[in-house]
Amino acid sequence: MKKATIQFEPIARFLPHHLPQGTENNEVFMASTQSNAKIWRNPSYLQSSTGIFLFFCSWGIWWSFFQRWLNSMGLNGAEVGTIYSINSLATLLLMFGYGILQDKLGLKRHLVLAISVIAALIGPFVQFVYAPLMSVNMMAAALIGSIVLSAGFMAGCSLIEALTERYSRRFGFEYGQARAWGSFGYAIVALVAGIVFNINPMINFWIGSAFGVGMLIVYLTWYPAEQREAIKQSDEPSAEQSSPSLKDMLHVLRMPALWVLIVFMLLTNTFYTVFDQQMFPTYYASLFANEATGNTVYGMLNSVQVFCESAMMGVVPIIMRKIGVRNALLLGATVMFLRIGLCGIFHNPVAISIVKMFHAIEVPLFCLPAFRYFTLHFNPKLSATLYMVGFQIASQIGQVVFSTPLGMLHDRMGDRTTFLTISGIVLAATIYGFFVIKRDDQQVDGDPFIRDSQKKPTLAADETILAADSEDM
């Protein structure tokens, strides 16, 4: 046994850290390792990347101009804030349900297929239901729209991200590499969204439906053999129970460490929607001579920013390995503080365009470290529930709380005061996070995280192993 341990020790050091600990199926484990080295031959990576790419295309083609569309329907800042608050409340409820159900489903795609159907129907829904009702009864439209838009997109996004992250750990690929294709898809459609919006905003929603149909086809028909086998094994009566119980899920809400992170996310990641979706598009368009030019340039800028965001999805894991998970989260909050604050200081399109590019590093610095924080400090089998509650639901609560009052502040005081107020809140949250977010070596109840600087040199160990092998021979 000693000899076998010595022989396999150097292999273990090079195995990907995102694979679940305690894997006993050597064939699956080694296959995951080999496919990680040749990512383009990993069928689960290809399927997950294609699915998330089409989802973000279906969403991004209209979501990037959703606030501008609401303004074109005659809504003021406070009314737009009300729409976002109601959407966030519906998203909040759906996310918790999605997280619980997906943790019970494991690798199965039932919920993702339902989301795909909604995405495929977004064009007809807006054309024949949402827009006509909006012009007659805003509150009724807001309530009905919140169910459809949240189920298919706002809450659906978190579910698809959580399922993709689960696939990445099970089938041996980096989550960030697959998630980057989502950003890439959003960037492609953002490039043309402004141009199409100037022609007719309804076209944006119908293009979203077309991508939704493609997404439905991918998730309905593309099942790699390794996924079919894993699902089959999980359905066997003798299979080890890997899904959490209802008691485990309810216990999540009694974790003080989780609530510490919820407060941090509520006061930071919240403003991705409140600022970037609810306020920034109109502000940016107002910097130009006419609205049509502003819409076109904003669409192009948004596309460039998301292209860079896609690239940063591959860079941020490297940054995390250098500075750690905790510091990456705090860095993301610092970037947000600077970005929103500088938007309140500068008032010309060139400067604001440069500041907008900070967003490319900010999104990955929130998204990827948040997932890793949960699998580091908590039970990994609860990853979907934890991500929904601790990251996304916290943000939705913040949007319910802040959207309407900040919309009213924006109507009354204007851009500068509102942006600096938001920036001040983010700064306070960053200082709070510095004192309460756990270090990477504190309360490690999940998969440990080791920085590059903490890894011991392997040369001497390898020489010892070779010498031991020579003596045995």
* Confidence (pLDDT) at 453: 73
Instruction: State mean pLDDT over 68-88.
Output: 86
Dist CA 393 CA 157 (whole Å): 12
* Confidence (pLDDT) at 160: 92
Instruction: State mean pLDDT over 129-156.
Output: 92
Distances 122 to 70, 115, 119, 207, 364 between C-alpha atoms, Å: 16, 11, 5, 9, 27
Summary mean pLDDT of the chain = 81
C-alpha torsion sign, points 151, 154, 160, 165: negative
Identify whether the C-beta of residue 264 lies closer than 8 Å to the C-beta of residue 437. yes
Q: At what angle do helices 155-171 and 175-199 cross, to 10 degrees?
A: 150
* Confidence (pLDDT) at 392: 67
* Confidence (pLDDT) at 426: 94
Note if the pTM is more than 0.95.
no
* Confidence (pLDDT) at 22: 37
Express as a percent the part of the chain with pLDDT over 90.
31
Of the candidate ranges 144-148, 398-402, 462-466, the one whose mean pLDDT is the lowest: 462-466
Express as a percent the part of the chain with pLDDT over 70.
82
Does 437 score more than 50 pLDDT?
yes
Reference 31, options 44, 21, 13, 22; nearest CA is 44
* DSSP assignment of 332-388: HHHHHHHHHHHHTT--SHHHHHHHHTTHHHHHHHHHHHHHHHHHHHS-GGGHHHHII
* Confidence (pLDDT) at 438: 87
* Confidence (pLDDT) at 384: 62
* Confidence (pLDDT) at 67: 85
What confidence tier does 52 reach under pLDDT thresholds 50, 70, 90? very high
Does 7 score more than 80 pLDDT?
no
What confidence tier does 400 reach under pLDDT thresholds 50, 70, 90? confident
Identify whether the C-beta of residue 398 lies closer than 8 Å to the C-beta of residue 465. no
Instruction: State mean pLDDT over 84-108.
Output: 83
Does 245 score more than 80 pLDDT?
no
Instruction: State mean pLDDT over 392-396.
Output: 72
Does 369 score more than 80 pLDDT?
yes
Three-state DSSP class for residue 13: helix
Does 280 score more than 90 pLDDT?
no
Reference 469, options 143, 7, 101, 5; nearest CA is 7
* Confidence (pLDDT) at 21: 36
Does 162 score more than 50 pLDDT?
yes
What confidence tier does 36 reach under pLDDT thresholds 50, 70, 90? very low
Which one has a higher pLDDT value, 11 or 379?
379
* Confidence (pLDDT) at 113: 95
Instruction: State mean pLDDT over 231-260.
Output: 67
Identify whether the C-beta of residue 420 lies closer than 8 Å to the C-beta of residue 131. no
Dist CA 208 CA 216 (whole Å): 12
What confidence tier does 457 reach under pLDDT thresholds 50, 70, 90? low
Does 254 score more than 70 pLDDT?
yes
Instruction: State mean pLDDT over 426-444.
Output: 90
Which one has a higher pLDDT value, 236 or 110?
110
Q: Hey, what domains does the chain have and what are their CATH numbers? A: 48-228+245-462 (1.20.1250.20)
Identify whether the C-beta of residue 159 lies closer than 8 Å to the C-beta of residue 278. no
Does 258 score more than 60 pLDDT?
yes
Which one has a higher pLDDT value, 34 or 95?
95
Question: Which two structure tokens, joined as six digits, stand for 225?
Answer: 């053999």
Dist CA 325 CA 330 (whole Å): 9
- Tens of pLDDT along 178-234? 888 998 898 889 888 888 998 999 999 999 999 999 999 999 999 888 888 887 877
